[in-house]
Structure formats: C-alpha cells, structure tokens
Structure 1
Amino acid sequence: MKSFWCERAWLPDGVASRVLVRADRGRIVSVSTVDTIPLGCERLYGMVFPGFANAHSHAFHRGLRGRTHGDGGTFWTWRDRMYELASSLTPDSYLRLARAVYAEMAVAGVTAVGEFHYLHDGGNEMGEALRQAALDAGIRITLLDACYLAGGIGQPVSGVQERFSDGTGEKWAARVSDLREDDNTKIGAAIHSVRAVPRETLSLVAGAFPDRPLHVHLSEQPAENEACLEAYGLTPTQLLAEAGALSPRLTAVHATHLSTSDIHLLGSHGVGACFCPTTEADLADGIGPARELNDAGSPLSLGSDQHAVVDPLLEARGLEHGERLRTGQRGRFAPAELVAALTNHAALGWDAGRIEVGAPADLVAVRLDSARTAGCADEQVVLVATAADVSIVVSGGRVVARNGVHETLGDVGRLLTEAL
C-alpha cells in the first residue's frame, strides 16, 4: 500500500484540498480528505491532476526538432526531412531514441502515450523497441500500428516508404495480430491516411481489430482533401464513412480542414478528435474546428505528434488559444474541458484519467508557487502552467519523475543528446 497526500487535487467533482490517495498494486483504493498528514506518505504540493495522456506520438520525429526551420518550406518539404530520418533508424537506435522521448514525456506528466507507428520494416522489431522504451520510461503505451500501403492516392510506395509498407492489408493485419498486449501495453490499429491506404483496403483495416482503438490522420492538409475529392468525389471523412470506419473507437488526428457535413458525420458517430496544437502551428497546418467537433459529439484528446514541444499543458492551452485566434472569442473551452482533453486516456483504450477509486494511481503535481503560476486561481492552473512546473509524476503508484529528472533514467537532456 502506498499513500499520497495532495495539497490540492483535481477530482471528478471539483478541486479539493488536503486529499489523501491510497494505492495498492498500482490502482487507487481510497480517496479522502484529511486534517493531518499521515506519516510515511508522499507529499504532493500544488495542484495534483490525473496523469496526462499523449494521444498522438511519432517518437522518431523528435530527431527533427530544431532542424527544419532554416529554409521555411512547407509540410511536404518537412516530410522529406522526416523520410531522411526514418531511413537511418534501426531497432537498437530507435529503442534509445524512443526511451529518451518517453522519458521526456514522463517528466512532463504523461503517463500514457499513443504511438502512431508506421516504421515497420515488414516485422515487429521496431514495435517491440517502442514497447520496451515505454516500459523503461515508466509510462503505458498503446501501440497504434498503422497500415501504410501507398505513396499517395494511386501512387505506389517508393524509397523509404517501403519501410512503412506491408504490401497488402492482409499482410498488415497478420503482422499486427502477432503483437501481444500486457499490463503496460495495448495494441491498436491505425489507417495512416486516405493517401496511404487505398479505397478498396479501408474497410479491411477498419474492421480488422473491432475491439481495439483505431486512429487515422484526417484532413491535415488541404492538398489531401483536394486529391481525395478528385480521385473519389468524396472528402476523406466521407470516404471513411463509406468504409464503415466511423465509430466511437475511431480517433481522427488533426481534423483540421473539415466541411460542416464532415463535422456532423464525425460527431454523430462519436468519433474522437485528437488535436496537436504545437505541431499544427509548427507545420503551418491551420487551426481545426475543435469547438464545433466537440459540440457535435466528438470527444477531444491531445497529442504532441512530432514533438516540436513536449508539454501537455501547452497543448491544452493551445487548444483554447487556437479557438481564440480562429474566432476572436475568449473562453471557447472552460478549464475543466481542457483538463478533460488533457487526461483523455479512453482514446487509447485505457480506463484512466481520473483520481477516484479503481483508476490507475497516476498523479501529476503542478507547482502553484512558480513565476508562472503564483497567484492563479485553482481552476485556471491549466491556462498558466507549463511542464516546467511539474514537480512530481506518479505512474501506476510509482514515482517516475521529480523536478524534471527521471527517477531511473536520470537527466533527460543527456538521454536525448546521446540518442540523437
């Protein structure tokens, strides 16, 4: 049995003070308020949130940070740089890099990551490296194994894209079926995009693993929509609907350039939407209709995608700031809605993201006395704090990070420097 005393805690029914959380075998067994701090418990000062979920990650993209800005360019020229990086990785080097990236997430408060994985090499060695990396970093992983069969609509894969492809949808499904879940790993599926999965294969991928999470890059770029309309006379959302892919188990990543009917289709089917505000800004993707999607019935989640920034609190704030820039209105999302997106583990298939009995003992203590947070209202912490204010991170009842240093892996900057 482990005990954690929280100065303040973000509970399902609101913020409470002097909260005692007891955990056994990694799960919360009691939550109560106390007048006296019990002996022997871990003290968590500031505001304690449930563990954060990073619902969309490409771990190897971390190698691009600070290396793609010199000549401006576009999303498509950025993609060329990404392909160059992908061509250089081996299972061993990917393990080192992903371990460092997941450690960077852990010290920022992430306790579960959705890894949108398409660097396959026709086998599962890369996927197993990602599984081990998450275990080493002390966070749970949902390995969203992506089907990638085409270099564009009507185009074969070429060059490094051959490392992404299994050749056919059937071969992709057979390989993914060999992956096994465990206490720290869930296996999900992904349609890389309607550019990379042909129309005739979409329904196979969507139906291959019906009880597991399914993710898709959707309408990130106007060029994707234009190509899809020209080839099929349908938007990417309509094409997914035709394939029977729309359901609550699906999460649409980015969902930036959507029509009104697209928004209605996604929301009416309960499809989740994962926004990655810092990546979408970095790549000049645009600002998606987050409020409209949420109002239509799409639960929101957040991801760091290419890891231009690894700071879940900035992603949450970016969701609101994007809405303000897009509409000229403040308060498009209440702080509680931002925290709900920040802690949406359901998009990854985990029953987590809340401080209550039965949930995993995932706790993130955020300082209230820093230069950024001093004087803020309790309920508005999410709008001022950054990852630099995360003091202690507990994952599954175990402290994994203190004051920006990983408990077992040490200094994250050193890890990243060595891996890169």
Structure 2
Amino acid sequence: MRDPLTVSGPEGPSFWAEHAWLGTHVEPGVVLDTGADGRITAVRTGVAAPPPGAVPLRGLTVPGLANAHSHAFHRALRGTVQTGAGTFWTWREVMYRVAARLTPDTYHALARAAYAEMALAGITAVGEFHYLHHGPDGTPYADPNAMGEALIEAARDAGIRITLLDTVYLHGGLTADGHQPLEGPQIRFGDGSADAWYERWTRLRERADGDRVTVGAAVHSVRAFAERDGYAAFAERTDGVPVHVHLSEQPAENEACLAVHGVTPAALLDRHGFWKPTTTAVHATHLTDDDIRILGASGAGVCMCPTTERDLADGIGPAAALQRAGSPLSLGSDSHAVIDLLEEARAMELDERLRTRTRGHWTAAALLRAASEDGHTALGRPGAGSLEPGAPADFTTVALDTVRTAGPVPGLAAEAVVFAATAADVRDVVVCGRTVVGGGVHRTVPDPAGELARAIAAVTT
C-alpha cells in the first residue's frame, strides 16, 4: 500500500501562506520550507507573493489540528441517535448494536472514511480511544490486534497521524454492589485480565514508529477497571506513553464510585498514583473542587468534547477551573455528532459563557492552542502544533473569503476563524510536508462521502 505521508527527494516542498498564525499574531506572506523528514526547516516572513515552486495556501494557515478523543465507529450513529428523547444510557444501547456488527474489514472501511472526514476538517492527528478488540463472542481474531491494525491502516490511508489509545476494559459497569461482568456486545471489549491486556498491548506497541503511529494506552473508566485489576501496576507498565481515561462523564458513575469506594473516580485514581503529566482525563464533566485540585496539581491534561457532551446532555465541565488549577486542555470530537475542531474550540468558550453568564474566558489564541499544540501533547507528540523550525510540517489553511469568514481585517483572522469558521471552510491540509487536502479535495480518498455512506450501511442495515 502506498504511504500517502512519504516525502521523497532530498528536500520537501515549500509552502507560501497568504496569512499564518505564528502563535501570537497573524503574519502576512510566510514561507514554510520543509525537509525530507517531514519537518519545517525554515519560516520566512515578509514574502509578498508565492516564490517560484512554492505551493500557495490562500487564507489563514494554522498548525494542524489535533482530535484528542475519537471513537471511529461512533461515526455510524450520526442521525440515528437523533430521533427522539433519551439518555446517555439509551444512546449507549444503540452504540452497542453497531459495535456488535463490526469486523476488521468493515471497521477499516468506516474508520478510513471517518479519518478522511477529519482530514477535510483540518485535523492532522487523531487520538483513537480503542476498545473494540475481539470477535462478537469475545474470541480473539487470529491476529489479536486485528481491529487496532485496521485503525492504523485507516489513518495511513487517510493521510493523518494516529495515536492508538488501546484500552483495557474488563468489567461491564460499577454499581453500589460492585463491578458487573461483561455481557452482550461488551464481551468483545475485554481481554479477561489486566495481564492478558498487557500482553496484547505489548505486541501492538511494535507498530509504533515514533512519528506517524503512536501507541498509547487507556483505562476505559472506573466502571470497567477495578482496584483488584491493579491501577498502580497499570500506571507502572504504561509509564512514558500517553494514557487516557473517561472520567466522571455521568453523575451515576460518581455515585457508584462513592458507594463502593467512598471516594470520587478522580480521587480513586489518585489513590493509586494514576495521575501524571502524560495522563489525560476525558470529559471530566462532574468534578468536585477536590477533584479539580487533584488533576491540576498532577499536571494531568483534560480533553473536553463539547459537541458530544451537549449532544448527550451530559453537562458543561469545569474547563476554566481545571485550566486555572494547572491542567492543560485539549479537544476531541468523541462520538462524532459533528467532526469540526473549530466548533469544539469555540463551544468550550461559548458553553462557559452560558454557564457563567460572562464572556472572554479564552482568547482565540488560547483556543487554537487547545485545538493544536496541547492536543498533540496529549497524544504523545510534544513539539507538534506550531509553525516553527523543527516542528512537524503539519498545517491547515482556512479560507478567509467565505460567507462565514469574509469581512474582518487580516489581523483578526484568528478570531474570525475560531469564532465563525467551520470545517467546510478548510481548504488545504498538509501532513508531514505532503498535501493531503488541496482546494478542499482529499488527495488519497477520492469519495469520502460515498465511502461513509457505504461503510455505515454495511454495519447498520
């Protein structure tokens, strides 16, 4: 299979950005030179027109966006779960029905199309929270990592980087009586024991290349992993890689944890030394003040997923308080109600405005950082997410001449993009110095919409 990220020749191409976001301001006329290793070699400012041979990028060029939390197969739920009233738990039953029908081949097809949609939205790296491991009856495939391999290949086909957050999921839920066994579609999520998960995960880590494919780890939630499974051992075994966990997404999770353990999920994990700067809590919607202090003091990151949290009526998490406490914030599309990191970024600010009835919690610069640099760091790629020499040559250009973005002066282009642009305004996406999306067209997946339709039909009809 041809690798769409490979750059040939002694040097990579040069790109001329009509306007570029350089971390603090919008700079007109910027040339980004790249090397054969897919990194930026030079940033040249004050270049009024495209130099000979440079690829022109018309609009505002920003660092490539990082989708720090994805469940690729949830893309098949869009529309299906919008037919009436319900709760997170009724939504989950629909999700389980889709999960029960996936195979390595159908999962590859669905993820390839979903990741192509991400590329079209300006996303250059995805964190895939992966727990759909085995066959429908729980029997491992001949290759126990066949489903994970399908996701890695799907990202490669779509031209984006992936951090595969292989997830340990051993129990079906936590109630006041303790942990429940896996049953029904959940059976295929589990490895039987933490040791069995670790053995399979160790084999999967051989796929990491330190560049396009990163293999991290995840605990699904305190509902799915018990104290007796060994939080401390898990933390020790996964030291040095990005580790994510769903945290306090629902009040019911907190209530069950308090009933069984006498503490909140954040405090339970803290008891076992789980939190560290390489750890990311996902959602963190229903936290106490002590929970916020625990996360902030540890330097653990928090991934907010506003479009999913509001779609499922989960609530508005304490993002501003978490950042003040010391937790860097990243963003994810989670269930893919929409795939639009610009919408996730402004939703974090706008939801906080609704909650507090005050404006101006984050600047456009801070929201861009959450959508790029801090997201890449959460995915185990520190140093990514900026337009400067040595950084990966991953960047996204958003048009400034659409009905949503036209009008503001160039100096306010970042504000226009963050607070008004959508994924539909993305025009060009470069990953590893290679154009993946040019003029709004995906270069290696010629018909993303058609592929999405076919892939979703295969697992829902």
Same topology, TM > 0.5: yes
Question: Is 1:362 aligned to 2:371, yes or no?
Answer: no
Q: For residue 243 of structure 1, report the CA deviation from its aligned partner.
A: 1.4
Determine the structure 2 residue equivalent to 1:215.
Answer: 244
Is the Cα–Cα contact under 8 Å of residues 163 and 213 in structure 2 kept in the other structure?
yes
Gaps of 5+ in 2: 1-11, 135-139, 457-461
Alignment of 1:90-109 (within 5 A): 90-109=103-122
Runs of 4+ in 1 over 6 A off after TM superposition: none
Question: Is 1:135 aligned to 2:148, yes or no?
Answer: no
Report Cα offsets for 1:338-380 as digits up to 9, x if no partner: 0010002000011310000011111111111110011132230
Counterpart of 2:189 (choices 144, 157, 164) is 164
Report Cα offsets for 1:168-206 as digits up to 9, x if no partner: 001101100001212311000001000000122222222
SS in 1 for 2:80: coil
Q: TM-score, normalised by structure 1?
A: 0.98
- Taking the aligned partners of 2:432 and 2:281, their CA distance within structure 1 comes to 28
- Taking the aligned partners of 2:273 and 2:309, their CA distance within structure 1 comes to 27
- Taking the aligned partners of 1:379 and 1:100, their CA distance within structure 2 comes to 29
- Taking the aligned partners of 1:239 and 1:4, their CA distance within structure 2 comes to 49
Q: TM-score, normalised by structure 2?
A: 0.90
Amino acid at match of 1:186: T
Q: For residue 12 of structure 1, report the CA deviation from its aligned partner.
A: 2.7
Gaps of 5+ in 1: none
RMSD (Å) for aligned C-alpha atoms: 1.0
Is the Cα–Cα contact under 8 Å of residues 60 and 94 in structure 1 kept in the other structure?
yes
Q: For residue 225 of structure 1, report the CA deviation from its aligned partner.
A: 0.3
SS in 2 for 1:119: coil
Question: Is 1:8 aligned to 2:37, yes or no?
Answer: no
Q: For structure 1, which segment, 263-272 or 181-190, has the greater mean C-alpha deviation from structure 2 after superposition?
A: 181-190
Is the Cα–Cα contact under 8 Å of residues 257 and 265 in structure 2 kept in the other structure?
yes
Determine the structure 1 residue equivalent to 2:7.
Answer: none
- Taking the aligned partners of 2:439 and 2:191, their CA distance within structure 1 comes to 42
Q: For residue 36 of structure 1, report the CA deviation from its aligned partner.
A: 4.0
Determine the structure 1 residue equivalent to 2:384.
Answer: 352
Q: For residue 216 of structure 1, report the CA deviation from its aligned partner.
A: 0.2
SS in 2 for 1:178: helix
Counterpart of 1:200 (choices 222, 228, 234) is 228
- Taking the aligned partners of 2:15 and 2:247, their CA distance within structure 1 comes to 41
SS in 2 for 1:97: helix
% identical aligned pairs: 56
- Taking the aligned partners of 2:52 and 2:440, their CA distance within structure 1 comes to 26
Determine the structure 2 residue equivalent to 1:174.
Answer: 199
Report Cα offsets for 1:373-419 as digits up to 9, x if no partner: 11132230211111111011111111111343211111221110121
Question: Is 1:29 aligned to 2:61, yes or no?
Answer: no
Question: Is 1:378 aligned to 2:413, yes or no?
Answer: yes
- How many residue pairs were aligned? 420
Amino acid at match of 1:3: S
- Taking the aligned partners of 1:81 and 1:364, their CA distance within structure 2 comes to 34
Q: For residue 158 of structure 1, report the CA deviation from its aligned partner.
A: 0.7
Determine the structure 2 residue equivalent to 1:147.
Answer: 168
Q: For structure 1, which segment, 181-190 or 248-257, has the greater mean C-alpha deviation from structure 2 after superposition?
A: 181-190
Amino acid at match of 2:400: L
Q: For residue 207 of structure 1, report the CA deviation from its aligned partner.
A: 2.1
Is the Cα–Cα contact under 8 Å of residues 23 and 365 in structure 2 kept in the other structure?
no
SS in 2 for 1:68: helix
